[in-house]
Amino acid sequence: MRCWRLIIITASVALFTEFACAQVVSFGQRIFHEKADCQFCHGVDGDGRGDPRSPGRASDLHKTFLTREQLIDVIACGRPATQMPHFDKYAYEDRCGGFSAAELGKDVPPDPHSTSLNRREIEAVADYILAVFKGK
Protein backbone atom coordinates (compact mmCIF):
# COMPACT_ATOMS: atom_id res chain seq x y z
CA MET A 1 0.00 0.00 0.00
CA ARG A 2 2.69 2.39 1.00
CA CYS A 3 4.45 1.79 -2.27
CA TRP A 4 1.37 2.73 -4.30
CA ARG A 5 1.04 5.91 -2.41
CA LEU A 6 4.64 6.75 -3.25
CA ILE A 7 4.06 6.00 -6.92
CA ILE A 8 1.01 8.21 -7.01
CA ILE A 9 2.81 11.05 -5.26
CA THR A 10 5.79 10.75 -7.61
CA ALA A 11 3.53 10.72 -10.65
CA SER A 12 1.67 13.80 -9.47
CA VAL A 13 4.88 15.67 -8.83
CA ALA A 14 6.13 14.74 -12.30
CA LEU A 15 2.88 15.88 -13.89
CA PHE A 16 2.91 19.11 -11.97
CA THR A 17 6.54 19.83 -12.97
CA GLU A 18 5.72 19.16 -16.61
CA PHE A 19 2.74 21.48 -16.37
CA ALA A 20 4.79 24.21 -14.67
CA CYS A 21 7.52 23.96 -17.34
CA ALA A 22 4.98 24.14 -20.15
CA GLN A 23 3.50 27.24 -18.53
CA VAL A 24 6.88 28.98 -18.40
CA VAL A 25 7.58 28.10 -22.02
CA SER A 26 4.26 29.40 -23.30
CA PHE A 27 4.74 32.59 -21.24
CA GLY A 28 8.17 32.99 -22.89
CA GLN A 29 6.69 32.25 -26.28
CA ARG A 30 4.17 35.07 -25.94
CA ILE A 31 6.93 37.46 -24.95
CA PHE A 32 9.12 36.45 -27.90
CA HIS A 33 6.36 36.70 -30.49
CA GLU A 34 4.10 39.37 -29.09
CA LYS A 35 5.03 41.51 -26.12
CA ALA A 36 8.74 42.09 -26.84
CA ASP A 37 8.50 41.33 -30.58
CA CYS A 38 11.90 39.61 -30.71
CA GLN A 39 10.69 37.98 -33.92
CA PHE A 40 10.83 41.34 -35.71
CA CYS A 41 14.62 40.86 -35.87
CA HIS A 42 15.19 37.19 -34.99
CA GLY A 43 12.39 35.82 -37.16
CA VAL A 44 9.30 33.84 -36.25
CA ASP A 45 11.42 30.68 -36.13
CA GLY A 46 14.30 32.34 -34.26
CA ASP A 47 16.62 31.75 -37.21
CA GLY A 48 17.65 35.38 -37.58
CA ARG A 49 15.45 35.98 -40.57
CA GLY A 50 13.20 38.69 -39.28
CA ASP A 51 11.43 41.28 -41.27
CA PRO A 52 13.75 42.42 -44.09
CA ARG A 53 13.52 45.94 -42.71
CA SER A 54 14.67 44.94 -39.22
CA PRO A 55 17.91 46.62 -38.21
CA GLY A 56 21.22 44.84 -37.75
CA ARG A 57 21.94 41.22 -38.41
CA ALA A 58 20.10 39.36 -35.68
CA SER A 59 21.61 36.07 -34.50
CA ASP A 60 20.25 32.68 -35.48
CA LEU A 61 19.14 31.49 -32.03
CA HIS A 62 19.30 27.83 -33.09
CA LYS A 63 23.08 28.27 -33.29
CA THR A 64 23.63 30.09 -30.01
CA PHE A 65 26.22 28.72 -27.60
CA LEU A 66 25.04 30.86 -24.72
CA THR A 67 24.08 29.36 -21.36
CA ARG A 68 20.89 30.35 -19.53
CA GLU A 69 22.77 32.99 -17.49
CA GLN A 70 24.40 34.43 -20.60
CA LEU A 71 21.09 34.54 -22.48
CA ILE A 72 19.51 36.42 -19.58
CA ASP A 73 22.45 38.80 -19.60
CA VAL A 74 22.23 39.57 -23.35
CA ILE A 75 18.46 40.04 -23.21
CA ALA A 76 18.65 42.32 -20.18
CA CYS A 77 21.72 44.30 -21.26
CA GLY A 78 21.62 44.08 -25.05
CA ARG A 79 24.91 43.95 -26.87
CA PRO A 80 26.99 47.11 -27.01
CA ALA A 81 27.72 48.47 -30.49
CA THR A 82 25.03 46.29 -32.13
CA GLN A 83 21.31 46.63 -32.75
CA MET A 84 20.46 44.08 -30.00
CA PRO A 85 18.34 46.19 -27.60
CA HIS A 86 18.51 46.06 -23.80
CA PHE A 87 15.22 44.86 -22.34
CA ASP A 88 16.01 45.77 -18.73
CA LYS A 89 14.82 49.33 -18.36
CA TYR A 90 17.56 50.15 -15.85
CA ALA A 91 20.33 48.30 -17.70
CA TYR A 92 22.57 51.32 -18.12
CA GLU A 93 21.88 53.03 -14.85
CA ASP A 94 23.75 50.48 -12.75
CA ARG A 95 22.98 46.91 -13.68
CA CYS A 96 25.03 45.90 -16.68
CA GLY A 97 28.65 45.23 -15.90
CA GLY A 98 28.90 48.59 -14.17
CA PHE A 99 28.83 50.46 -17.48
CA SER A 100 26.74 53.58 -17.70
CA ALA A 101 25.20 55.00 -20.85
CA ALA A 102 27.67 57.89 -20.66
CA GLU A 103 30.69 55.57 -20.64
CA LEU A 104 29.42 53.56 -23.59
CA GLY A 105 28.52 56.68 -25.56
CA LYS A 106 27.26 55.84 -29.02
CA ASP A 107 27.82 52.11 -28.36
CA VAL A 108 25.03 51.90 -25.79
CA PRO A 109 22.53 49.22 -26.92
CA PRO A 110 19.27 50.74 -28.19
CA ASP A 111 15.96 50.79 -26.33
CA PRO A 112 13.57 48.12 -27.58
CA HIS A 113 11.08 49.21 -30.25
CA SER A 114 8.50 47.23 -28.26
CA THR A 115 8.73 47.45 -24.48
CA SER A 116 11.12 46.67 -21.66
CA LEU A 117 10.73 43.46 -19.65
CA ASN A 118 10.96 42.59 -15.98
CA ARG A 119 13.29 39.92 -14.62
CA ARG A 120 10.63 37.19 -14.67
CA GLU A 121 9.80 37.90 -18.30
CA ILE A 122 13.48 37.94 -19.28
CA GLU A 123 14.00 34.54 -17.63
CA ALA A 124 10.92 33.13 -19.34
CA VAL A 125 12.04 34.21 -22.79
CA ALA A 126 15.53 32.76 -22.12
CA ASP A 127 13.90 29.45 -21.12
CA TYR A 128 11.81 29.58 -24.28
CA ILE A 129 14.97 29.97 -26.40
CA LEU A 130 16.58 27.02 -24.58
CA ALA A 131 13.50 24.82 -24.97
CA VAL A 132 12.59 25.61 -28.56
CA PHE A 133 15.57 27.05 -30.50
CA LYS A 134 19.02 26.33 -29.05
CA GLY A 135 20.65 23.32 -30.73
CA LYS A 136 17.42 22.43 -32.57
List of residues contacting ligand HEC (CB under 6 A): 36, 38, 40-42, 54-59, 64, 66, 71, 74-75, 79, 82-85, 87, 112, 125
SS3 of the chain: the string is CHHHHHHHHHHHHHHHHHHHHHHHHHHHHHHHHHHCCCHHHHCCCCCCCCCCCCCCCCCCHHHCCCCHHHHHHHHHHCCCCCCCCCCCCCHHHHHCCCCCHHHHHHHCCCCCCCCCCCHHHHHHHHHHHHHHCCCC
Q: How far is the CB of 45 from ligand HEC (least distance, A)?
A: 14
CB-nearer residue toward ligand HEC: 17 or 70: 70
Q: How far is the CB of 63 from ligand HEC (least distance, A)?
A: 7
Q: How far apart are CA 114 and CA 112, in angstroms?
A: 5
Q: How far is the CB of 87 from ligand HEC (least distance, A)?
A: 5
CB-nearer residue toward ligand HEC: 1 or 113: 113
Q: How far is the CB of 91 from ligand HEC (least distance, A)?
A: 13
CB-nearer residue toward ligand HEC: 29 or 82: 82
CB-nearer residue toward ligand HEC: 12 or 77: 77
